[in-house]
Amino acid sequence: MVFSPTTRSRVLIATAIVVTSMLSASSHAAEVPLHELIDQRIDASLAKQKLTAAAPASDAEFMRRVYLDLTGTIPDSKTARAFIEDVDVLKRTKLIDQLLASENYGTHMATVFDVMLMERRPDKYVTTPEWRTFLAESFGANKPLNVLVAEILGADGVDEKLRPAAKFYLDRAVAKDLLVRDIGRLFLGVDLQCAQCHDHPEIDDYLHQHYHGLSVFIAGSKTFKQPDGKFVLQEVVMREVEFASVFEPDKTNKTGPRLLDALMEVPEVKEGEEYVEKPSRTVRSVPKFSLRKLLSERLPSKDTPEFARSMANRLWAMLMGRGIVHPLDMHHSDNPPSHPELLNDLAVRLSATKYDVKAFLRELTLSNTYQRSSFIPEELDPESLPEDSFAVANMKGLSPEQLFDSLLVGTHASAVLEQQIDEALEEESAEVAAKAVEKPDADKPAPEEPDAEKIAEARRAKRAARVTEFVTMFGSVPGQPEGEFAASLPQALFLANSETLSGWVPAKLGNLTEQLTGLDDSTTIADELYLSVLSRMPEDDERTLVKEHLEAGKADRPKAVAALVWSLLASAEFRLNH
Amino acid sequence: MDEPKYVPKPDGADPIATRLVAELKHDRGILACKYDPANQFLFAGARDYFVHRWDLRKEPVLEPPADPKKKPRYPPVPAAPADSRLEMAEHQSWVGGMALFSDGDRMATGDFVGQLIIWTNRAGTPKPLFSFEAHKGSIRKVAVSPDGNLVASVGNDGAVRIWHSDAAEKLHQELLGHDCHVYHVAFHPDGKSLISADLKGRIKHWDVESGKLVRDIDASLLHTYSLKYEVDVGGIRGMTFNADGSQLACAGAAGDDKGIAHSGDARVLLFDWESGELLKELRHEKKEVCTAWGVQFHPDGFIIASGGSRTGGFLWFWKPEEEVAFHRLKFRQRAPGFDVDLAPDNKTLAVADHDGTIRLYEMAPEPEQEPEEQTGTAKA
Amino acid sequence: MKYDPACNSNAHLVSRRSMLGNMVAGAAGVGALGQLIHPLVAGEIEAKKKQVLIFLLNGGLSQFESFDPKPNTDTGGPFRSIPTSVPGTHFCELMPYTAQIADKLAVVRSMYAERVPGSHGGAREYVVTGRPPQQGPYPWIGPVYSKLLADNEDLPGNIHITPSRWGPRQDSAFLGPRHASLVLSGGKPPLNVDRPDLFNKELDDTRYRLRQIADQRFSQRRRTAHTEAYQSSYDQAAQLIRQKELFDVTKESEKDQLRYGSHDMGRHCLLARRLLQKGVTCVKVTHNNYDSHMENFNFHLEQLGEFDQPFATLMQDLEESGQLDHTLVMLVTEFGRTPVIQPDNGRDHYQDSWSVVLGGCGIQTGGVLGSTNDNGTEIVDRPVHVGEMFHTYLQAVGLDSTGTHVVGGNNVPIGAPERSAVKELLI
């Protein structure tokens, strides 16, 4: 297959990358730009494996990918067309910069990190909107990643400004085992779960003492209910924990706080002087020396190289569809990185740039590795091509949020969604009114006229409920990381028949189907359809298919168009970030 | 000055002064209790296979507190240990239904596997006169007609049965109408009517002579279907007529499902017998997740109920004309009183408690004690 | 360890692939997705394959009022015990029908587990994953069967018949949505099984055809793992929509509908029989609700009164049809109930001992394993941990519970490695 309209600009882009690379190379003479370094490492490994890299992605392919990766949604058809037609040789770099500077970048990263760090656990003490706002502001302002993680690991929930950061602890109910496991997995890249009761049965690197050493940081912390009803964290003094293997229950061991093999010193404090606030039922206990604070200082820092490695690997995986260490929480010697030097470079650069996430993502997206097509070259056998070669762009399933937003953009159905929300709210208030008539409650004052803010809040809640529908259907199990792409029967039934999506497809309120139905020429229809849904121009045979289908269905044009729209929304090309 | 909440009649009971006077100890939860009209014996059914009889003359009263200003000790210490309890063994399950004949000789008891026993010589060495399977599954309650000729029984099989007390034979083939467990049964004081009440809060009024259904009375306020637990909850737990038969009281709980399949807070529904109209929904001012299990009319004109839940047990006292209880006694033990009976002296109440004890309460102030002589210990 | 090659052999895998391949090759003209597997071929596979029927008595069945009665003791409750078809074994009188088929069952009276966080949810997870919930999430046993016994089938491998207020739950953890329970809430067909009004039958076919053309085009020279899985989910959907009567219990004979009873549990048991007959690998029926903190005796009278007869009827039908030979039956609950009778005539949660019942494929039936003391407060013989039972459930149908799931290149033990199967229960 040939993407004819884009061949020319692809060549131009290749030149553009060289130019920008040279510019940055000259200003930092000592240092090769990271995106070049990435390509050097990957190319060398491809050469060694005798693998041919895929061709660069077409403009359309690149654009859809980078939109989804940096802003969480596909571009609308106008934007897509403009980008494809743009002849500026620097347009890819400009787009990357534009997207990184956009508001959607912050909100998308907030979703990504919320899902990564909270794994879709139900809210307990800190709401998801509060937490996401905190994350969105952090990423929007490009707060260094180590600072953000220190805020999260050091949070006690008392300081209003940083309270959302305490969600990580609070909404896990400060449950020790859960936190040890998740801190290990999410910030250090090691899943110590199986080392909880004994040395890991299969992974030699994961020791029983690693688990318990990490647990010392958390073992003294628990929730405290403030007089105002808010739950915050408190901490009692803890120096070490005792543990015994289930296989040798009589042999007990001890460890102080440790981050894997690094054992930390805990300063001696005189007995009776350990506390700022002593433990009691009514007061939040605060020790003079907080192990949680120690954790927040030592984990996201140079002292703990696993942190930078794990974070670099996670950000890489977010864009490249697969970690250099994979699974992301399985950093150990029996599961070596596919590109050890590259992972090292990424970690070093991430920490050398003071954990500047935007700069890091910019370099990754500028690389040829990122900008490759997912289209497998003739020379390669698709069945035997290793996934960790990065010879071809790895395809990623859209997250539930990406799917929701992209379906909405693709169908131009914002107005329809608004109407669905209105109808749901009206139905609700009608029910309430009917109940009030049926069973008047004398004690209850008559309901007040809802003010604008309340209405807006109700609308947000209704919209969130629709997103939740997608999350339940397409998201991972609460407490489980988002897995690789998987398809299920209930998902297919949902996309085919659910009320939400089948409300967005039929011609209505200026949505895509209605717009297309109003057009005469089948080529124009095909172009607008493909640009809207798949963010690319159709091929000739696709234009022909559209033409034939519309002719066959001319008795009921709106429905024939609706069938076309649905077929692309439900296609693998739409469902995947390719 | 506030008006007193209740003014006792001359020589009458003083419910606001109600206090614990004796404890009859057992080791299984007590389900039902009945005073012998001669005030000598107290009979009870419990979570075991016996009918229990205590001789009240042999049971000690509790030691009065040494210092009336101090809180009494708990558990209270009896003046002298005694156990007059007699175990009447014949049943094959818990005994929840119990009614005494006014002849001083017989009593009827029913158990949770359907066995109905009519006992004789209840004041001596009791023995069964008749013992037969009256229901398939549990018998919930039994009742004896005022003239002692009939015994009525109800149970989980949905049946209401009337038996000749001298032959253990059915008076009528079957009184059909309930479609769920029947929890309670009572004869009207005139002996001509019988009422039965079920889990769903429906009361059926039967003509004793013909066995025909006369009417339904709706007490479904005392029932909830729990959507979460997919089960019917509540039902009529206690039921009794006043002395002249003009009013009917039904005990249970009303309100929404409170989560662990509890139907709400304690209620006694007061009905006018003639019209079947609901006169009052008797409740306590404080909403509490619990059930009223036993109910009695007092001749002085007030209504008493016992009940509670695992969070607390209570006696409530109402005037029939006021919905909110004028007095509530909270038990020291956190457990409901499953039954309450009024002693023939009209001053004492027996409460059947979950914790395996029958507690006797006197509705009268502490007798005045001789003031102690001042001894010369005052500080100079 | 036995491993039945008929249900998941490489040969089967290859033939499934080739069928899919054929279909995709002729995709432009596909109009009969429903006949993906020829019924005869399907019949052959089903004849040999292992199936599983799970009853989850939700809320915590009281062992005293069911399989471990202690009449006339301080903890025993008011009900009598009755003899069963196994001489010397007694059940509570609330299960007269089940008592008659006791010879087809193996009763474990000595189940226990440590207390875990999360009350019912946590304890339930422990029972159906064999792992304490704080280590999880691990896949529930239904998804595990679906993965290990039905990975390549077109029928959903794991169907869950639930009370009407239950929605879908994500129970497949790392095994992915492919193996999550397909929920029939209230015994009704799955959600979204009816096509929207917008598309009539013909246009519905058209839109699927257009979708497939798009996929075919996209998947040429792209990695096929994703696109194949995606295509297959639509194939399954199209097939299911065409087989809606699979869920229609009224298609069963009137006589059978009467035998099973018109209440929900009766309908659900009959539906379970229908699904098993049609070849669904794992069928789970949840019965609500045994959480009898109050009125334990009334609750159990009511709930077991509904459960007992259809359960026994279904067991008998499975035996008569010969299905019991290759169908494992499990009757599980998250925990037992306290010996102590609580103030509101209730029993609270009890994890120190309770009863579980197995039957059918691979199980030594007609006996009782383990015992509790006279008033049921503690286990006196052969304690059986929930983790051991998890291994047993899998080994009964010939699966190697000591093997591993491969999750993204990472090996996860199928059953807890520190536990092993209860050999006394296995044939």
Q: Domains of chain A: which residue ranges? A: 4-101+308-394, 172-298, 400-413+469-577
With beta carbons less than 8 A apart as the criterion, state whether A25 and A350 touch.
Answer: no
Chain B positions touching C292 (Cβ under 8 A) are: 261
Q: Where residue C90 falls among pLDDT bands split at 50, 70, 90?
A: very high
Measured torsion, CA atoms of residues A68, A73, A76, A77, in degrees rounded to the nearest 10: 50
Looking at residue B263, its pLDDT comes to 62
- Answer whether residue A17 shows pLDDT above 80: no
Report the chain C residue with the minimal C-alpha distance to residue A502.
C196
Which of the residues in chain B have pLDDT under 70?
1-2, 63-82, 256-263, 369-380
Q: What is the pLDDT of residue B7?
A: 94
What average pLDDT does this structure show over A215-220? 94
C293 vs chain B: nearest CA distance in angstroms? 7
Contact residues on chain C for B138, CB-CB shorter than 8 A: 78
Nearest to A549 among C210, C222, C227 (CB): C210
State the Cα–Cα distance between residues B320 and B327, nearest whole angstrom: 13
Q: How far apart are CA B202 and CA C354, in angstroms?
A: 37
Q: What is the pLDDT of residue B68?
A: 53
How long, in residues, is chain B?
380
Tell me chain A's radius of gyration from C-alpha atoms. Answer: 27
Residue given tokens 């029989």 in the structure block? C273
Quickly state the pLDDT bin for A324 (edges 50, 70, 90): very high
Distance between C196 CA and the closest CA of chain B, angstroms? 31
CA-based nearest residue in chain A for residue C176: A486
Give the strand pairing for C51-57 and C282-287: parallel
Chains A and C form CB pairs within 8 A to the count of 184
* Closest chain B CA to residue C302: B231
- Mark yes or no for CB contact A382/C222 under 8 Å: yes
C163 contacts B228? CB cut-off 8 A = no
pLDDT at C66 over 70: yes
Q: Average of pLDDT values for A404-410?
A: 97
Strands B238-241 and B247-254, sheet pairing:
antiparallel
- Residue B128 is which amino acid? P
A479 touches chain C (CB under 8 A): yes
Is the minimum CB–CB distance between B312 and chain C shorter than 8 Å? no
For the cut 70, the answer to whether the pLDDT of residue C192 exceeds it is yes
Is the Cβ of A436 closer than 8 Å to some Cβ of chain C?
no
Amino acid at A568: L
Of B48, B94, B309, the CB nearest to C343: B309
Residue C225 confidence (pLDDT): 78
Where do the domains of chain C lie? 50-189+253-425, 191-247
d(CA A100, CA C287): 52
Q: What percentage of chain C exceeds 70 in pLDDT?
A: 88
Q: Do C301 and B156 touch (CB under 8 A)?
A: yes
Distance from CA of B371 to the nearest CA of C (A): 42
DSSP state of A207: -
CATH T-level assignment (fold) for domain C50-189+253-425:
Alkaline Phosphatase, subunit A (3.40.720)
* Tens-digit pLDDT profile for residues C327-337: 999 999 999 99
- pLDDT band (50, 70, 90) for residue C26: very low
Tell me which range, A20-34, B265-279, C156-170, is most confidently predicted by mean pLDDT.
B265-279
Distance, in angstroms, between C18 CA and closest chain A CA?
15
Lowest mean pLDDT among A232-236, A433-437, B32-36: A433-437
Give contacts of A335 with chain C, Cβ < 8 Å: 409-410
Give the pair of three-digit tokens for residue A260.
């894997």
The nearest CA of chain C is from the CA of B300 a distance in Å of 31
Quote the pLDDT of residue A380: 87
pLDDT, position C16: 28
C→B interface, C-beta within 8 Å: 59, 71-72, 74, 78-80, 93, 163, 165, 288-289, 291-295, 297-299, 301-303, 341-344, 346
pLDDT of residue B70: 59
The bridge status of strand C327-333 relative to strand C51-57 is parallel
Q: Which of A157-161, A322-326, C41-45, C297-301 has the lowest mean pLDDT?
A: C41-45
**H, E, C per residue of A209-261:** HHHHHHHHHHHCEEEEECCCCCEEEEECCCCCEEEECCCCCCCEEEECCEECC
Calculate how close chain C gets to A23, using CA atoms only, in Å. Answer: 35
Mean pLDDT of chain A: 89
Q: Which helix (H) or strand (E) holds A131?
A: helix A128-140
The least confident of A118-122, A191-195, A281-285, C317-321 is: A191-195
Of A320-329, B29-38, C113-122, the poorest mean pLDDT is in: C113-122
- A201 vs chain C: nearest CA distance in angstroms? 9
CA dist A493 → A489, C191, C196 (Å): 6, 8, 11
- Nearest chain B alpha carbon to C342: B310
- Between CA B325 and CA B321 the distance in angstroms is 10
Token readout for C272 is 């379970």
Number of Cβ within a 10 Å radius of residue B58: 11
Task: Answer whether A touches C (≥3 Cβ pairs < 8 Å).
Answer: yes
Q: Shortest CB distance from C299 goes to which of B227, B231, B334? A: B231
Residue A38's pLDDT is 97
Residue among C134, C199, C227 minimizing CB distance to A563: C199
Can you give the pLDDT at residue A485?
85
Quick one: average pLDDT of A6-34? 46
Give mean pLDDT, residues A150-155: 97
In terms of CA atoms, which chain C residue is nearest residue A575? C230
Please indicate whether, in this complex, the C-beta atoms of B336 and C301 are within 8 angstroms of each other: no
Q: Is there a contact between C192 and A493 if contact means CB atoms under 8 Å apart?
A: yes
Q: Is B18 helix (H, G, I), strand (E, B) or coil?
A: coil
Distances (CA, A) of B134 to B152, B170, B213, C124: 10, 9, 21, 41
Of A359 and A503, which is predicted with more confidence? A359
Is the pLDDT reported for residue A256 higher than 80?
A: yes
- Record: contact B232-C302, CB cut-off 8 A: yes
Q: Which residues of C touch B233 (CB under 8 A)?
A: 295
Chain B, chain C: beta-carbon pairs less than 8 Å apart: 76
Residues of A whose CB is below 8 A from C221: 1, 375-376, 378, 382
Q: What number of other Cβ atoms are within 10 A of residue A48's Cβ? A: 8
Q: CA end-to-end span of chain A, whole Å? A: 16
CA neighbours closer than 13 Å in the CB half-sphere of residue C168: 27
- Is B227 in Cβ contact with C294 (below 8 Å)? no
Distance from CA of A152 to the nearest CA of C (A): 22
Residues 147-206 of A with CB under 8 A from C: 175, 177-178, 193, 196-198, 201-202
Residue B9 to chain C, least CA–CA distance (Å): 36
Largest pairwise CA distance in chain A: 89
Lowest pLDDT segment from A274-278, B365-369, C380-384, C413-417: B365-369
**A1 CB near a chain C CB, below 8 Å?**
yes
DSSP notation for C31-70: --GGGSS-HHHHHHHHHH--EEEEEEETT---STTTTS--
Whether the CB of B308 is below 8 Å from some CB of chain C: the reply is yes
**Residue contact C223–A395, C-beta within 8 A:** yes
Please name the chains neighbouring C, where neighbouring means 3+ C-beta pairs under 8 angstroms.
A, B
Which residue type occupies C399?
L
What's the ipTM? 0.89
For A485, list phi and psi in degrees, rounded to 5. Answer: -60, 135
- Kindly report the average pLDDT of chain C as a whole number: 86
Please tell me the predicted confidence (pLDDT) of residue B327.
96
The listed range with the strongest mean pLDDT (A276-285, B15-24, C384-393) is: C384-393
- A121, A182, C191, C337, C377 from C73: Cα distances, Å: 45, 48, 49, 16, 11
Q: According to the model, what pLDDT value does residue B262 have? A: 65
Average pLDDT over residues A86-98: 97
Task: Please tell me the predicted confidence (pLDDT) of residue B257.
Answer: 63
Within an 8 Å CB–CB cutoff, is residue A415 touching chain C? no
Q: Is the pLDDT of residue A439 over 70?
A: no
Chains B and C touch (3+ CB pairs under 8 A): yes
User: Which partners does chain B have (≥3 C-beta pairs < 8 Å)?
Assistant: C
